[in-house]
Amino acid sequence: MTRPRPISGFPEWLPPQRMIEQQLVDRLRAAFECHGFAPLETRAVEPLDQLLRKGETSKEVYVLRRLQAESGESGDEALGLHFDLTVPFARFVLENAGRLQFPFRRYQIQKVWRGERPQEGRYREFLQADIDIVDRGTLPAHYEAELPLVVGEALAGLPIPPILIRANNRKLCEGFYRGLGLDDPPAVLRAVDKLDKIGPVRVATQLAATAGASEAQAKACLGLAEISAGDGSFVEAVRALGVEHPLLEEGLGELASVVDTAREHAAGLLVADLRIARGLDYYTGTVYEAQLRGYERFGAVCAGGRYDNLATAGDDRYPGIGLSIGISRILGLLFGAGALSISRQVPTCVLVALPAEDQRPVCLRVASALRRRGIAAEVSPSAAKYGKQIRAAARVGIPFVWFPGQDGAADEVKDIRSGAQDTADLATWSPPVADLRPTVTAVTKEIK
């Protein structure tokens, strides 16, 4: 084999980074479960026609083919890798509705794949953590206020910068556009969605071209998009634009409730920001987008919204709401900035030194006794000189080396960092709690 090279868009972490990722995932899992979300994994593949229901995303799908597929093989429909966890979840709910209890709260932490062009430098495989709540028939609006609190709480316990969630409401926008006399709200949304990329002048041009907006209508749309507030004051700001529509009122009420609830339970977590559009057109109520504070220009690390029509079959409707955290994206940003570190490269807390190869059974028993008390331990690979064994432990950050007593002498344990060495009783010795497992810490530095 020639020495292999990375594949663009498919990031792989080294073990210390993977340990950081696992601690992040463990924390998210614990928080989601603490909020009553049940775990779920769906298969990596979906029938291609399901993935292509939304034309917009079709270009990003990886299609599968069995290498030895025979032509005319029966029952083998075209499959593609899922590009998010929402579409598979909606499918799972429909498929298993009779075996689920509603409202159904689930979290799902899995890889997703997007066949982006490699030269764009985007991830083609990445890890997402999603929470969703679906109900049968109707879904109460209070979940739109609850979901950001769950994500805020889950991320708050981690050594990463805080997030700011920006929320908008599709009914608010649609009502506003219709109240203005614009009757193709998706076309308006698509144009406004480009505001950050192309600026207000070109958005206005596009509004005229694709949504038939007059200059005054375009100006009003851009005025709406400029409104942002951390409290209910955005409602008055919208009303000051002088547009009226029942759907607008409904959306204003829902978004005000989301903002008020967040203010009460998690001050600083969320603001109303009426330029948030979100590309996918299945959202029907609140939409969310979040950035890491200090990393805003790198884009969203969390996004989602309410979708009323994604899981429907005949008369059965399962409206839902979800938020998705981009784990690979968060870690990619923070690793890139050198903003996270871990106290060692391996889980091992104690290396049991090996006096001679024929002492391996004794050393295996020592390691086994430590493990029975939850202390991660491994036996030295070889009976090299002790100095060499200690240096090997130090290289990967193992904090302690255990020396089995020879010829009736007591066992001893050395803290490699301080050099302190003492006799120790295998039945009772424990490391300081902080050394039991690798610890992740934030590295404070200037962001480039």
In the region spanning residues 222 to 281, those forming contacts with a copy of itself, defined by CB under 8 A, are: 261, 264-265
Query: Whole-angstrom Cα distance, residue 331 to residue 337?
Result: 10
Which residue from 258, 29, 262, 268 is spatially nearest to 161, judged by alpha carbons? 268
Query: Whole-angstrom Cα distance, residue 120 to residue 50?
Result: 26
In the complex, what is the shortest distance from the CB of residue 206 to a copy of itself, in angstroms, rounded to a whole number?
Answer: 24
DSSP string, 147-191: HHHHHHHHHHTSSSPPEEEEEEEHHHHHHHHHHHT---HHHHHHH
Query: Is 385 an interacting residue with respect to a copy of itself (CB under 8 A)?
Result: no
Q: Angle, to 10 degrees, between the axis of helix 170-180 and the axis of helix 215-225? A: 160
Which residue, 35 or 219, is less far from a copy of itself as judged by CB? 35
- Asked whether the bond before 103 is cis by omega within 30 degrees of 0, the reply is yes
Contact yes or no for 266/152 (Cβ under 8 A): yes
Strand partners, 130: 108, 324
Selected binder of a copy of itself within 27, 54, 219, 360 (CB under 8 A): 360
Query: Is 329 an interacting residue with respect to a copy of itself (CB under 8 A)?
Result: no
In the complex, what is the shortest distance from the CB of residue 121 to a copy of itself, in angstroms, rounded to a whole number?
Answer: 12
Which residue, 45 or 337, is less far from a copy of itself as judged by CB? 45
Selected binder of a copy of itself within 345, 362, 405, 426 (CB under 8 A): 345
Query: Is 43 an interacting residue with respect to a copy of itself (CB under 8 A)?
Result: yes
Euclidean distance between the first and the last CA atom of the chain, given in angstroms as a whole number? 38
Q: Which of residues 171-190 bind a copy of itself (CB under 8 A)?
A: none
Backbone angles phi, psi at 12, to 5 degrees: -130, 130
In the complex, what is the shortest distance from the CB of residue 12 to a copy of itself, in angstroms, rounded to a whole number?
Answer: 6
Query: Is 45 an interacting residue with respect to a copy of itself (CB under 8 A)?
Result: yes
Selected binder of a copy of itself within 156, 346, 362, 426 (CB under 8 A): 346
> In 181-245, where does DSSP find H-type helix?
185-192, 195-211, 215-225, 233-239
Q: Which of residues 304-323 bind a copy of itself (CB under 8 A)?
A: 311-314
Q: Which of residues 125-164 bind a copy of itself (CB under 8 A)?
A: 125, 135, 140, 142, 146, 149, 153
In the complex, what is the shortest distance from the CB of residue 87 to a copy of itself, in angstroms, rounded to a whole number?
Answer: 10
In the complex, what is the shortest distance from the CB of residue 315 to a copy of itself, in angstroms, rounded to a whole number?
Answer: 12
Selected binder of a copy of itself within 44, 156, 369, 384 (CB under 8 A): 44
Piece of 93-101, 170-178, 211-219, 331-339 that binds a copy of itself (CB under 8 A): 93-101
DSSP string, 361-428: HHHHHHHHHHHHTT--EEE-SS---HHHHHHHHHHTT--EEEEPPSTTPPPEEEETTT--EEE--TTT
Selected binder of a copy of itself within 54, 103, 159, 411 (CB under 8 A): 103
Query: Whole-angstrom Cα distance, residue 289 to residue 270?
Result: 10
Which residue from 291, 31, 344 is spatially nearest to 158, judged by alpha carbons? 31
The secondary element (H helix, E strand) that includes residue 107 is strand 104-113
In the complex, what is the shortest distance from the CB of residue 439 to a copy of itself, in angstroms, rounded to a whole number?
Answer: 14
Query: Is 36 an interacting residue with respect to a copy of itself (CB under 8 A)?
Result: yes
Q: Which of residues 281-300 bind a copy of itself (CB under 8 A)?
A: none
Q: Which of residues 65-84 bind a copy of itself (CB under 8 A)?
A: 65-69, 75-77, 79-81
Query: Whole-angstrom Cα distance, residue 252 to residue 187?
Result: 21
180 burial via Cβ count (<10 Å: 0-12, 13-18, 19+): buried
Selected binder of a copy of itself within 27, 54, 61, 229 (CB under 8 A): 61
Selected binder of a copy of itself within 24, 27, 28, 35 (CB under 8 A): 35
Query: Whole-angstrom Cα distance, residue 183 to residue 74?
Result: 46
Selected binder of a copy of itself within 214, 368, 430, 441 (CB under 8 A): 368
Contact yes or no for 289/163 (Cβ under 8 A): no
Q: Which of residues 394-413 bind a copy of itself (CB under 8 A)?
A: 395-396
Which residue from 111, 106, 123 is spatially nearest to 60, judged by alpha carbons? 123
Which residue, 91 or 178, is less far from a copy of itself as judged by CB? 91
Which residue, 239 or 373, is less far from a copy of itself as judged by CB? 373
Binding mask 106-125 toward a copy of itself (x if CB under 8 A, else -) reads x----x-x-x--xx-----x
In the complex, what is the shortest distance from the CB of residue 194 to a copy of itself, in angstroms, rounded to a whole number?
Answer: 21
Contact yes or no for 139/306 (Cβ under 8 A): yes
Which residue, 48 or 241, is less far from a copy of itself as judged by CB? 48
Q: Which of residues 416-445 bind a copy of itself (CB under 8 A)?
A: none
Contact yes or no for 172/252 (Cβ under 8 A): yes
